Structure 1
Amino acid sequence: MGFDVETVRQQFPALSEGAAHFDGPGGSQTPQVVADAVAATMVAALANRGQLTAAERRADEIVVGARQAMADLLGTDPGGIVFGRSMTQLTYDFARTLAKDWAPGDEVIVTRLDHDANIRPWVQAAEAAGAAVRWLEFDPTTSELDDITPLLSDRTRLVAVTGASNLIGTRPDLQALASIVHDAGALVFVDGVHLTPHAPVDAGFADFYACSPYKFFGPHCGVLSAAPALLDRLHPDKLLPATDAVPERFEFGTLPYELLAGTTAAVDFIASLGGEASGSRRERLLTSLAALESYEDDLRADLENRLAAIDGITLHGHAQRRTPTLLFSVAGWEPRAVAAKLAESGVNAPGGSFYALEASRHLGLGDAGGVRAGLAPYTNQSDVDRLVEGIKTLTV
C-alpha cells in the first residue's frame, strides 16, 4: 500500500514553522492528537489510581490503557509494561536490580554499537558487583556486529544490545542473537529506542525491551517491556508502603498520567498511518509500520545516493539492514559547523556523536562524530532536496 506523506505532515503543527526536520532520532515532532490528549488529561479531574471516585477511575483507565497500547505496539504482554522517566532511567533501575544477583566471575556483554544508555548502566553495575564486562565489536567497514558466540560462557549473565544504532542505523539480527544468548543461559536487554519508530516490532524474543515514546511522536517518558513472570522474580529497592504488584513495583512514585495519555495517543496515531486498514490495533500497527518502513527506506536510498555523488562527502554506516538514518562527514568541516550552516537555511540536521560515543570512536570519528540525517514519517522529497542543496553549498 502507499504512504501519504502530505496527509501525515498536516497533522504536525511544528512543520508550519518551515524547517526541514532531520533531527527525529533525537526526538520526533508531535502530532496535534498527542498534544490534545496531554492537554485534556491535564485539565480533567485526576487522583491516585483507584475505583472509588471518577478521578481515581480516570487515572486507572489511563494507566491501563497506556500499558495495552504499548503492548500492542511491541507485541508483548500489557502486564509486563513498566513506565519510567526515560529509557536511561529505566535501564539504570534494572541494571541495579539485576546486579543484586551478580558475583565476581560473572560476565556482562555490551556492544560498541550501542548508545551509552545501554552501555554505561551495565558497565557500572558490573563494576559494583565485581563482574567482568566483555565487549562485542562491530566491523567499521560493514557496520555489522561481530559474532557473539566466542564471548559467551556459562558465567554470562546478560547481553545488552541495540535494536538499531542511533548513530548509523545498523539493525542487528536480534532474534538470531537472542536465540544464541538464551542457549547460553543469559538474558537479553534490547535498547529499542531507535528501532521502534521505524519498523514493525515483535519484542517477545527479548527478556527486556526498552524504548522512548518521544522518539515516536509521543511525550517524554520511558517504557520497558518484559514478561510478567520474569518481573515477578526481580525485587527493586522501593518504598515500604509501595505496592509489590507487577509491574507497579518498578514504577516509583505517582505516574505522569498526562504523559501516558499522550503515549496512547501516539500509538493510535501510528496505527492510523496505514489509512483505512482494519483489524485490531496490533494488526493496524503492523500494517502502518510496514508501509512507513517501505516509504522511509526508499527516501533514505535516494538521499544516500545523492549525498554519495557529492565530492567531499563520506558516508558512514553500510549495514544491510538499517533504519533511515545517515551519518556523514563533509571534508574540511567539523560536524557541528555543518549543522550550524544547514540551520541557517532551515534544515535541521545536527552534528555530534549523539551519546553513541563508543561507536563514533570505533568508526574513527572520535568524540566529534558526524552529521546525522534521520528521516521520519513527515519527511518529504522537498526536505531531502533542501538538505542535498545545503550540503552542495559547502563543497563548492
Structure 2
Amino acid sequence: MFDIDTVRTSIPALKAGIAHFDGPGGTQTPASVIDAMAEALAQPLSNRGTVTPGERNADQIVSGGASEARRAMADLLAAEESAIVFGRSATQLTYDFARTLARTWEPGDDVVVTRLDHDANIRPWQQMAAREGVTLRWADFDPETGELAVEHISDVLSERTRLVAVTAASNLIGSRPPIAAIARLVHQAGALLYVDGVHYAAHDTVDFAALGADFFVCSPYKFLGPHVGVLASRPALLDSLKPDKLLPSSDAVPERFELGTLPYELLAGTRAAVDYIADLSAKSPTTHRRRRLVAAMALISKHEQVLRAQLDAGLLELGEAVTSHSRAQERTPTTLLTFADRDAQDAYRFLASRSVQAPAGSFYAVEASKRLGLGSAGGLRVGLSPYNDSSDVTRLLNGLHDFLRS
C-alpha cells in the first residue's frame, strides 16, 4: 500500500498547511533530498579528481559507486549509465542538442514538432530549422479529445524528415501520446525521435528502450528532486555527435556534453530523490533499485489515479460552470480548467487566499493553449503529486464551489 502519511510527514514544506496542486511546475522537496544537498556542501568539495578529499567527493557524487547520480538516473530511466547527460535544465539541454544536431541537417530536410508540446520542445527546433534552411512541419492534435495520435505524426513525415520532437505527456492537459508507436514510425522514416519526458517521468515508470526514443529529457525537480536537467540517449549515438566544447575539457561521452563544472550538490539531491522514490516500495522483496523504482512508480500512479477519480467526480458536480480540457484516454493526473464568464486567474487568486495552490496560465505550452481555443491565457491547472491526499482534493473542490458562488 502507498503510505501517504509517511510521504507527507517527510516533506517539510507541507507543514505550512498549503494544498499543493502546482506539482507540474515543480514538486515540494523531501527532507532526505534537502539533507543530501546540504551534506554535499558540508564536505570538502572541488573539481573532480582523485588526489584531494574534495576531488574524490565530487567524483563520488557524479560517478562513484552504486548510489551516485548518473547510476541513479540510469536506474530511473532504464538507460545506460554512460548515456546520461546532466545540464542546468531540460530547456538548456534541448537547445544544446538542437544546435549540435542541426549541423547534420541540409536544406531540403525537414523537422517535425507538435502543437501539444511545451515551448521548450518546439522553439529550439524551430529556430535551428530557420538557421539551417530546413522546413519545419507541424503535427496537430485533436482539440476535442486532447489526443495526439500516430496518424497526426505520419501525416507530416517525409523521406527528408531528420528529427521528430514530441512530448511523452502534455504539461498543460496531461495527454500521453503513444510514444512507442510513434518511435517505430519515425525510425521507419529514417529520422531521430527527441522526447520531452519532463511531465511524464513524474507520473509513470520510464523505460527508455521500450519507448524507442533516441533522446529523452526530464527534470528531477518535477519528481521531488532539485532543479537540474537530465538527458538519456544511447552511447553510440552520443559518440557520433560533436558539440561545441572547451579544448581542455573531456571529449568522452557523456562528459563532452556537460559544459563547465557540474552542480555537485544538485546531483547529490538528484540521487537522493531517486532513492526516496525507490524507498516508497519498502515492502518490495528486492533490493534491486530499478525493480523497486518500478514498484514505487506503480504505487504512485495508482494513488494519483484514485485522487484523479475523486477530482473528476467533484468537477462533474460543479456542472457546466466548469470545463475540463483534459479528456485524453491516456493522461497524467493533470487537469486544465476554464470557467463560464469567470477568469482562471481570479480562480487562482481565490484559491490561494484559502491556501490551495493551483496556478493559472498556459505554462509555456503556448501552441497547445491556442489549439484548444484558449489563446495564450490557458486555464487553471490542477496537478496531482505523490504527496496530495483526499483532503487536499476536497479543499480544492470546496474552494472552486465557493469561487463560482462568489
Query: TM-score, normalised to structure 1's length?
Result: 0.99
* Cα shift at 1:185: 0.5
* Cα shift at 1:53: 2.1
1:109 to 95, 108, 112: 112
Distance 1:45 1:93 in 2: 31
- 1:49 equivalent to 2:52? Answer no
Residue 161 (structure 2) aligns with: 156
Distance 1:86 1:38 in 2: 17
Distance 2:322 2:344 in 1: 12
Residue 2 (structure 2) aligns with: 3
Q: Deviations over 1:125-150 (max 9, x none)?
A: 11101000111110011111141112
2:303 to 295, 314, 328: 295
* Cα shift at 1:153: 1.4
Tell me the amino acid that sits aligned with residue 161 of structure 1.
V
* Cα shift at 1:161: 0.5
Residue 15 (structure 1) aligns with: 14
8 Å contact 2:326–2:334 — kept in the other structure? Answer: no
- 1:319 equivalent to 2:328? Answer yes
* Cα shift at 1:54: 2.1
Alignment of 1:19-38 (within 5 A): 19-38=18-37
Distance 1:103 1:234 in 2: 16
Distance 1:389 1:212 in 2: 32
* Cα shift at 1:380: 0.3
- 1:361 equivalent to 2:370? Answer yes
The 4+ residue runs of structure 1 with deviation greater than 6 A are: none
- 1:58 equivalent to 2:64? Answer no
* Cα shift at 1:25: 0.2
Residue 219 (structure 1) aligns with: 226
Residue 94 (structure 2) aligns with: 91
Tell me the amino acid that sits aligned with residue 171 of structure 1.
R
Residue 263 (structure 1) aligns with: 270
Tell me the amino acid that sits aligned with residue 81 of structure 1.
I
Alignment of 1:163-174 (within 5 A): 163-174=168-179
8 Å contact 1:342–1:349 — kept in the other structure? Answer: yes
* Cα shift at 1:331: 1.7
1:283 to 271, 278, 291: 291
- 1:340 equivalent to 2:349? Answer yes
Secondary structure of 2:155's match? helix
8 Å contact 1:308–1:314 — kept in the other structure? Answer: no
Secondary structure of 2:376's match? coil
* Cα shift at 1:332: 2.0
8 Å contact 1:112–1:136 — kept in the other structure? Answer: yes
1:232 to 205, 226, 239: 239
C-alpha RMSD over aligned residues: 0.8
Percent identity, aligned pairs only? 58
8 Å contact 2:117–2:367 — kept in the other structure? Answer: yes
- 1:194 equivalent to 2:199? Answer yes
* Cα shift at 1:317: 1.7
- Gaps spanning 5+ residues in structure 1: where? none
2:145 to 137, 142, 147: 142
Secondary structure of 1:121's match? helix
8 Å contact 1:20–1:383 — kept in the other structure? Answer: yes
Distance 2:348 2:281 in 1: 33
Alignment of 1:116-131 (within 5 A): 116-131=119-134
8 Å contact 1:167–1:353 — kept in the other structure? Answer: yes
Distance 1:151 1:271 in 2: 40
- 1:394 equivalent to 2:394? Answer no
* Cα shift at 1:235: 0.4
Distance 1:209 1:259 in 2: 20
Distance 2:80 2:270 in 1: 17
8 Å contact 2:169–2:199 — kept in the other structure? Answer: yes
* Cα shift at 1:246: 0.5
Tell me the amino acid that sits aligned with residue 167 of structure 1.
L
Tell me the amino acid that sits aligned with residue 364 of structure 2.
Y
Tell me the matched-pair count. 395
Distance 2:316 2:372 in 1: 18
* Cα shift at 1:275: 2.7
Distance 1:301 1:96 in 2: 42
Query: TM-score, normalised to structure 2's length?
Result: 0.96
Tell me the amino acid that sits aligned with residue 102 of structure 2.
A
Q: Deviations over 1:66-98 (max 9, x none)?
A: 110000000000100000000000000000000
Tell me the amino acid that sits aligned with residue 343 of structure 2.
E
Distance 1:52 1:44 in 2: 15
Q: Deviations over 1:150-170 (max 9, x none)?
A: 211111000000010000000
Distance 1:111 1:272 in 2: 36
Distance 1:113 1:299 in 2: 25
